[in-house]
Chains A and B, each alone.
With several copies, the nearest count.
Chain A
Amino acid sequence: MSDTKHNTEDYLRMYRQMVRIRTFEDNANQLYLSAKMPGLTHMYSGEEAVAVGICEALTDSDRITSTHRGHGHCVAKGAEFKAMFCELLGKEEGYCRGKGGSMHIADQSHGNLGANAIVGGSMGIATGSALRAKLQGAEDVTVCFFGDGATAQGLMYEVMNMAALWNLPVIYACENNGYSEYTKTEEIAAGSITARAEAFGIEAHQVDGQDVLGVNALMQDLVPRARKGEGPFFVELMTYRYHGHHVGDINREYYRAKDEEQDWKENRDPIIRMRAWLVEQGIASEDEIEAMNSEIREDAAAAVDYALKAPYPDTREVDMHVYTDIAHACA
C-alpha cells in the first residue's frame, strides 16, 4: 500500500474486477429468479476480494482451478461477460459451447482449467498443472481454489503431501466462507485448517478475505516465491457468501441468522471497503466510481441480452467433443 501513486491502475482494476463479479452475479441471480436460466447456480457475491486479490497477482500463463462457485474466479482470471452468460444459458457461444454450464464454466484461454462440480475435485488437477510446470521448467504458478467444505476431501491431503515432497509451484487457496451447503464449518472441520497444511511442511497463512489489498499483498509475496521453487503454499481466506448455497436456497434461517448476513454485508463488504479506500486515497472520486459501476452494469445488461438471443448449439453437437479424434462419438 506504499506505492499508492504508482499502482493506481492496479487498484482501479481490482475494484473494477470486484464490481464486475458482483454485477455478473446479480444478473445471474436475476436470470434464475425470472426462470430464464436452466438449472441452479452458486453465487460468488461477497467473496470478490478473494478471487480478485489472488488473480491480480497472476499472469495469463499462470493457471487456476475453480469450483462449483466459479463465476468469480472466471471473471477475475480474465473472462468476458458475453461468453460467460452464453455458457450460463447453454448457448453455442458460451466458453464451453453450452456443454458445461455454470458448474464447468471457464475461459480456458486465460489459464482457467475449469470450474468443477465435484467438491475438491480439482485439487489433483491444480497440483498436476504445477508438476507439469516444474518438469518442463516453465515458470507458471497454479492456484487451486476450493472451499472450507472441500478440506474434508482426502484428496487434498494426498496432493498436498506430493506437492510438499516435490516443492511444486502450487498455491492452495481455501475460501473459508463459514459454510458448506447448510452446515457451519466448525461442525465439519476438526482442529485447524492451516495446521493441517503445516503438518505436511507447507507454509500456511490465514488472511482476511474481505480485504482485497491484503489478499493481493500476500499473493504478491507468495507467487514469485512459488515461481522460484519455494512452494507449495496454503492460504486460508476468511470470507462470506451473501446468497444461499445456491440461488434456490432462499429460506435459510434454519442454518444461518439474518443478522450475521447483514453484519458481513454492511460492515465487511469488500467492494464498499475498497471504494472508500480509493476515495480516501484520492485515487478515484465518487463520480468516477459511479461511472465505472454503471458502465459495468450496462456491459452486463448488454451481454445478458445478447446471450438470451444467442442460438443454442446445433443438436448435432451432442456427440461431438467426446473424443478429440472421433467427430461423432455415437455415429
Chain B
Amino acid sequence: MREITLSKAVNEALAEEMRRDETVFIIGEDVAEAGTPFKVLSGLVEEFGTDRVLDTPISEPGFMGIAVGAAMTGARPVVDLMFGDFLFLIMDQLCNQAAKSYYMSGGKLNVPLVLRTNLGATRRSAAQHSQSLHALVAHIPGLKVAMPSSAYEAKGLMKTAIRDDNPVVIFEDKLMYNDKAPVPEEEFLIPFGQANIKREGRDVTLIGTSSMVQVCEAAAETLAAEGISAEVIDPRTIVPLDEATLLASAKKTSRVIVVDEGHQSFGVTGEIASRINEKAFYHLDAPVLRMGAMDVPVPFSPALEDITVPTPEGVAEAARRLMSGEMIHAA
C-alpha cells in the first residue's frame, strides 16, 4: 500500500469530503494561500476557492462562534485552530454553545462541525504552544473527541468526523505531520468508538492515545526482546470510548498501563484507568498504571522539555515493574 504523511492524509480527507458535500467548508487563520503554518491544507484553496477555505482574522472565539452558527443552519464547517493551546480561547463557544445546543433545544438544533487542532510537546515551543488539552474537551458532554495515531487514522477519523452530525474535536499530533503510514487509495472511514488493537500480547496491556501509540509500540518491541508480551491498544476516539475492547484486553493480560500526552492529573489516564479498575478489578494482578505528561507547564529548554512526556523507555520500565510484582510493595 502507498505510504503518505499524516499531513497529506488530513488534506486528502478534507478534499474528498469537500468534493462529496458542498456544505463542507474550512475556516481559520491562514488556511487559504498559506495552507496553515504546518502546510497541512496546501492546495485546497486552489481547488475549492476562498469561499470554502476561509481566512479569518486572529479571532478564535469569533470564528468558532461563526462556525457554530453556520453548522446550526445547514453548513458543515471544519474549524482550523492553529494550536491546541488556543482551545482556552474558544471554550465558551465550544463547550457552552456547540456542545449543548442539541440538548438544550430538546433535539432540534444540532451542530455538525469539526474542530481540527493539535497537541504535543517537544517542539521547543514553550508553555503556550505545546499543550495537549484533549482531556478538557472530553469532560464536556456533547462533544466527541478523536485522536488519530497515524496517517491512516488521521484520514479515516477526519472523514467520519465531517459526516458526524455532532461537534467533533480532532487532535492531531503536530510532531507527526511528516510521519508516513500506509493509507489505502480507496475511500474508507473509521467508525468512532472502535479501538484498534495495534499489537496483540499476553502479559501486559499498553493503552496509548495519539503519538503515545508509537511510544507504546516501541516499548512493546523492547519488552518483546525481554520475553514480555505486550498488547498495544489505540482507542482512536476517547469520546465515545470503546470500553469493551479495553476491558477484554485488561482481563486477558491482568496488567495495564495507560499512556497519554496530556497532563497526568485530572486527565485522560485517570478516566481510562478508573473504568478498567471498576470493571475488571478482580482480573487485575496489579493496579492500572498511568503515565501522562508531567504536571508542569511545558518548559522551553530542550533539557527540560524532553523529560516531561512519556517515553518508550519509561513505559517499558513501568511494564517491567508491573511484571515483577514490585507494585505490591508500593501499594
Q: Which residues of A contact B (CB under 8 A)?
A: 38-40, 63, 65, 90-91, 94-104, 106, 108, 113-114, 116-121, 123-133, 135-136, 142, 149-150, 152-155, 158-159, 161-162, 165, 180-183, 187-189, 254-255, 312-313, 315, 317-326, 329-330
Contact = CB atoms under 8 A, between A and B. Distances in A.
A146 B92 CA distance: 17
Given A182-B30, A322-B141, A158 B70 contact: no
A310 B219 CA distance: 34
B277 interface: no
Contact of B165 (A101, A124, A255, A325): A325
Q: How large is the interface on B (under 10, 10 to 19, 20 to 34, 35 or more residues)?
A: 35 or more
A128 B54 CA distance: 13
Contacts of B80: none
Contacts of A38: 124, 300-302
Contacts of A118: 85-86, 89, 92, 96-97, 128
B63 A330 contact: no
A100 B300 contact: yes
Nearest to A317: B304
B66 to A, nearest CB: 4
Interface string B30-61: 10011001000000000000011001111101
B291 to A, nearest CB: 13
Contacts of A313: 301, 303-304
A136 B69 CA distance: 14
Given A39-B125, A124-B61, A161-B62, A323 B166 contact: yes
A97 B57 contact: no
Closest 9 CB pairs of A and B: A124-B65, A128-B69, A158-B62, A101-B300, A39-B124, A97-B106, A90-B301, A152-B57, A312-B303
Contacts of B23: 136
A142 to B, nearest CB: 8
Nearest to A156: B62
A4 B138 CA distance: 58
Interface stretch (B5-13, B71-79, B171-179): B71-79
B59 A154 contact: yes
B67 interface: yes
